[in-house]
Amino acid sequence: MTVDTRSRRLRVLGQPEPAPRDALPRHPPWIRAKLPTGQAYFELRERVHALGLNTVCESASCPNVGECWSAKSLTIMILGGLCTRSCKFCDVPTGRPSPPDPDEPKRVATILAELGLAHAVITCVTRDDLPDGGAAHWAATLRAVRARCPAMVLEALVSDFKGDTSAVDVVLDAGPDVFAHNLETVPRLSRQVRVQASVERSLAVLAHAKQRDALTKSSLMLGLGETLDEVRETMRLLREAGVEILTLGQYLRPSRQHLPVERHATPEEFARMKDEALAMGFAHVESGPLVRSSYHASNQHALVAKRRAQRP
């Protein structure tokens, strides 16, 4: 087994890889993920692989994979397993992807119907190689899941579609309950962290979705070198764009090829940021060291149910 393969396997299993010399010391005691154990975890992993599906849980080396999969909760990643962008925080492989698999929407619907989740999050790799950024495939997937699981809350965590609002409309027309797009970091660090993206474009996508009366959501990572005042200002920008759901989590370096962790925000800081975000008008906030965009997304269920009841 090569070093890189061993490191990836350790990260997927929630175990730390040997720290490189330029990394920070061990994570603080509040960074402790649950190891993947139990029959439910292994059964779900086997089923995901049998259906030939990708998940951000594995592809992005999420530290919560043990906890979530043991509870039979997962985040499907559509449009293949290779991303056309090379963000400096993300562990999803970059490359030249194949054309979208027309059978993938059916397979996504199959596994979500089997799991019977109340709330499901679907995300994607960024497909800058496609004229519509993958919007038509998104719509096909959402409609396939809705046909099999009419009561399920569907959250679409999308790319920025290069700012193409017509592509955003294609996704929105398929009726996701939550439209999510992650800003990831503060404006000062955006070019360094998300090399091919921009804050202005992401905010415009979120604002457009809000204008279409979508329930919108975004996420920020702490620990990349931002100040808390910069986090506050970025939260204000998200509120101005109409974002109602926010997640705040700690950036954890996937490998030595990624950006280093500059600091570990404390649980107290995460709690304070949550209180401030709610005071700004966010309707729901998840904030904590191990929080990720789709982590405990089902906690938003009451908010979504209220929104559904308000629609004609």
Predicted pLDDT at 187: 96
Residue 23 belongs to some domain of the structure: no
Domain assignment present for 6: no
- pLDDT of residue 6 exceeding 70: no
Q: What's the CATH number where 244 sits? A: 3.20.20.70
* Helix/strand number for the chain, H first, E second: 12, 8
pLDDT tens profile 72-84: 778 889 999 999 9
Q: Which residue has the higher pLDDT, 257 or 19?
A: 257
Q: Give domain status of residue 218, yes or no.
A: yes
Lowest-confidence segment of 53-67, 138-152, 162-176, 251-265 by average pLDDT: 53-67
pLDDT band at 283 (very low <50, low <70, confident <90, very high): very high
pLDDT value of residue 301: 73
Could you tell me the maximum CA-CA distance found in the chain, to the nearest angstrom? 58
Pairing of strands 75-78, 54-55: antiparallel
pLDDT in tens, 152-209: 999 999 999 999 999 999 999 999 999 999 999 999 999 999 988 999 999 999 999 9
**Rounded-to-integer distance, Cα 305 and Cα 133, Å:** 30
Sign of the four-CA dihedral 249, 87, 22, 229:
negative
Q: Are 78 and 124 in contact (CB under 8 A)?
A: yes
CA-CA-CA-CA torsion sign (270, 275, 281, 285): positive
Report the alpha-carbon distance of residue 56 to residue 93 in Å, rounded: 11
Distance CA 244, CA 285 (A): 9
Contact (Cβ atoms closer than 8 angstroms) between residue 66 and residue 15? no
Which of 116-130, 158-172, 267-281 is predicted with the least confidence, judged by mean pLDDT? 116-130
Residue with tokens 């660090």: 189
Express as a percent the part of the chain with pLDDT over 70: 86
Categorize the per-residue pLDDT at 298 as very low, low, confident or very high, splitting at 50, 70 and 90.
confident
Kindly state whether residue 14 falls inside one of the protein's structural domains: no
* 28 is a domain residue: no
21-41 pLDDT, tens per residue?
Answer: 444 447 888 887 666 677 877
Kindly give the interhelix angle for 39-50 and 104-115, rounded to the nearest 10 degrees.
160
Give pLDDT, residue 274. Answer: 97
pTM of the model: 0.87
Six token digits for residue 160: 């920025």
- Give the length of the chain: 312
Q: What is the pLDDT of residue 58?
A: 73
Residue 120 lies in a domain: yes
pLDDT, greater one: 301 or 283: 283
**In Å, how far from its chain's centre is CA 237?**
19
Q: What is the reported pLDDT for 118?
A: 84
- Our count of domains for the chain comes to 1
Give the pLDDT confidence score for residue 5 in this predicted structure: 43
Q: Is the pLDDT score of 3 beyond 60? A: no
Q: Is residue 31 part of a domain?
A: no
CB-count burial class (<10 Å; 0-12, 13-18, 19+) for 68: buried
- Give residue-wise pLDDT tens across range 197-242: 999 999 999 999 999 999 999 999 999 999 999 999 999 999 999 9
In sign, the C-alpha dihedral spanning 31, 46, 182, 215 is: negative
CB 245 within 8 A of CB 216: yes
Paired tokens of 12: 């997927």
Helix (H) or strand (E) holding 69: helix 65-70
**What digits encode the pLDDT tens for the residues 87-99?**
888 888 899 999 9
In a domain, 13, yes or no: no
Asked whether residue 67 carries a pLDDT value surpassing 50, the answer given is: yes
- What is the DSSP annotation of 225-285? S--HHHHHHHHHHHHHTT--EEEEEE----STTSPPP-----HHHHHHHHHHHHHHT-SEE
What does the mean pLDDT of the chain come to?
86
Confidence (pLDDT) at 64: 66
Q: How far apart are CA 115 and CA 72, in angstroms?
A: 7
Range of the domain at 41: 36-310
Are the C-beta atoms of 243 and 217 separated by less than 8 Å? yes
Whether the per-residue pLDDT at 147 is higher than 60: the answer is yes
pLDDT (0 to 100) of residue 25: 47
